[in-house]
Structure 1
Amino acid sequence: MDWKNGLITYDSSHKDSSGSTSSTSNDFATAVNSVALDEEEEPEEVETVLKVVPPAYHQYLDVLSKVKAEKLPQQHCCYHHIKLEGLLPPVGVIYSLSNQESETENVEKGFISPSSSSTGVPVFFVKKKDLGLCLCVDYRKLNSVTRKNRYPVPPMTKLLTVFNGSIIFSKIDLRAAYNLLRIKEGDEHLIALSAKYGSYEYLVMLFGLTNSPASFQNIVNGISAEFLDIFVVVHLDDIMVFSSSEEGHVKHVASVLQILRDNNLFAKDSKCVFHASSVEYLGYVVSSDGLKMDSSKVQKILHWPQPKNIKALQSFLGFAIFYHCFIKNYSKKITSQKRPSFYLQ
């Protein structure tokens, strides 16, 4: 640990990730002609994807297809199963909504269908970072009677210990990842939603279901098991490919894109980064030198308003502890802050 420069260096004893893989035998020279983006793609979308994706991966452009990602996935071995421990929750309150577009859009995609389920949960909209609206479904009552899937989602700090010897990185972010997984046939009625314009049931997995993270992590770990911690780490829908040489990196990224294609998983070009010497991943900046703090998060901590009460202090400490490994004697430094004080109401 380099305390002065705020840098975590890699463990030199960790295995090198330079090994190549024979999982793909595609000829990159003729790749461009093999697979194209869906013909329904907007020209602007195609142009954007071509700018983001290096020519070496143009044979995998279909993996970045927005049109294909928004089609109902087929039922196969990978699905989300809902097991109940109690009675089915009753129909929830219907919130007043001013936007029917999301429901109509999801019906057109095939993600939801009209339902006659005896249960139903309320829905509402929240604003996204891009100022768009995200349809949220309130599954709290259903989650309370759902048997929990304890499949482990790896802690971020554990994932970040495997980059020793790597000099080049690519980050692949999956598009609407949870929607790429079907609900197990026969379970759809359990997640029926009650809206102003009718009752519907989802055919795809949603954010908000208690076991969604575990189900998705299980699947992405399974399909990438051959490469995990060798040249790939995966945290839910965030995939990092790391290599010790550019030549090896091209093969590694191609292997990952092929896996995504084989399993009908799609990436979002605007959130992908290819062939970078440093990249932000899970709140850290990863490079050949080691791990650093994300400057934007550091600025939030530096400009955090003075806590006025215990709850505000807990909120600050909860955020600051994310980078505790970069602060020497962190636990000792915050001890005095955790004690009751007359400054806190």
Structure 2
Amino acid sequence: MSVFDCKNADVLSPHRDCDHRINLKPGTAPPHGSLYNMSVNELQVLRKYLHDQLEKELNPDIKPPATVPVLFAKNLSGGLRFCVDYRGLNAITIKNRYSLPLMQETLSRLSKAKCYTKLDIISAFNHIRIAEGQDMMTAFNTRYGLFETLVMPFGLSNAPATFQSHINEVIRPFLDIFCTYYIDDILTYSDDLTSDRTHVNVVLDALSKAKLHCDKKKFEFEVQEVTYLGKIISTTDVKTDPQKVQCIVNWTPPHCLKDVQGFLGF
């Protein structure tokens, strides 16, 4: 099925009505930031990232009036995750107040089902193009030159709202009937296996028509227990995922005011 074809997930999407628009507050302009220091290892990772993304989503032929720096953050596996520091741009961006689903309302509906299938969209944000004429506002500066991104990157303050609005349009016909979503995580819920297979096919067909692709490795098909929104949902119960609270469980009990402040993040 084409929706699970990872190669197609790298194809640059055309401009559409769902393109991401960056609307700035009146009287403001995109900020400029200087380069951050990077280690030899970080520069090697940066060079590889730029090489891999040039044919997919980056444009190096630019002369922007302002650029922002890049940096790396460690991911859960210990590797380095490329990040663009859009904090300055976000500070002057008019916020999109598109609402995310209410977690408790969603969990209440899911707990009544008997069968679940979970889908994860590959590079969800990268399926959304930056609106025509606004690519330059995403410009960033690196040791190896200036680049702008042609697709919606992580880090822009309105990116989650833009994608949430798009996926809502894709699955609106069956939303809260047998399907729900939270940004790029989609879950079908059914009363029996036969119904679930029908529901999954309907959702996959809708995703395929929208040129969205799912990760086969994260595909959970017809299960009676699923981890979703930080909870473990089953046909009989909804409970907190132990991994989400393990750091608190392992925390050394505070013995003084300083320990309490440390626990609270002061």
Deviation at 1:153, TM superposition (A): 1.1
Tell which deviates more after alignment, 146-155 or 306-315: 306-315
2:88 and 2:231 map into 1 onto residues whose CA distance is 35
Following superposition, the deviation at residue 305 of structure 1 comes to: 2.2
Kept in 1: contact 2:31–2:89 (CA 8 A): no
1:114 corresponds to: 61
CA distance in 2, matches of 1:63, 1:182: 19
Instruction: Name the counterpart of 2:153.
Output: 206
Distance in structure 2 (CA, Å) of the matches to 1:210 and 1:129? 22
Q: TM-score, normalised on structure 1?
A: 0.70
Instruction: State the shift of 1:124 in Å.
Output: 1.3
Letter in 2 for 1:106: Q
Task: Tell me whether 1:228 sits opposite 2:175 in the alignment.
Answer: yes
Aligned match for 1:292, one of 229, 239, 250: 239
The alignment's C-alpha RMSD in Å is 1.7
Q: Which runs of 5+ in 1 are unaligned?
A: 1-59, 316-344
Moved more, 227-236 or 151-160: 151-160
Give the match for residue 147 of structure 1. Answer: 94
- Indicate if the aligned counterparts of 1:91 and 1:194 stay in contact, CA closer than 8 A: no
Amino acid at match of 2:218: K
How big is the shift at 1:223?
1.2
CA 1:130–1:71: 2 relative to 1, 3 Å: farther
Does the aligned pair in 2 maintain the 1:80–1:212 contact within 8 Å? yes
CA offset digits 1:285-332 (Å, max 9, x no partner)? 1111131121223433321222444433325xxxxxxxxxxxxxxxxx
Say if 2:35 is the partner of 1:72. Answer: no
1:18-57 residue pairs with structure 2 within 5 A? none
Partner-residue secondary structure (3-state), 1:226:
helix
Larger Rg: 1
Aligned residues: 256
User: Hey, what does 2:30 align to over in structure 1?
Assistant: 89
Structure 2 CA distance for aligned equivalents of residues 241 and 111 of structure 1: 34
Contact 2:57–2:151 (8 Å) recurs in 1: no
Kindly indicate whether the alpha-carbon contact (under 8 Å) linking 1:63 and 1:267 is maintained by their aligned counterparts in 2.
yes
Distance 1:223 1:287 in 2: 26
| Distance in 1 between residues matched to 2:198 and 2:58, nearest whole Å | 34
One-letter amino acid of the structure 2 residue matched with residue 95 of structure 1: Y
Aligned counterpart for 1:185 among listed residues 129, 132, 135:
132
Q: Give the 3 Å change call, closer, same or farther, for CA 112–277 of structure 1 in structure 2.
A: farther
**Unaligned runs of at least 5 residues, structure 2:** none
Q: Which of 188, 191, 199 pairs up with 1:252?
A: 199
Q: Letter of the 1:126 partner, please give it.
A: A
Question: 1:125–1:136: 8 Å Cα contact kept in structure 2?
Answer: yes
Contact 1:121 1:137 in 2 (8 A): yes
Indicate yes or no: 2:83 matched with 1:136.
yes
Q: CA deviation at 1:143?
A: 0.6
**Partner of residue 104, structure 1:** 51
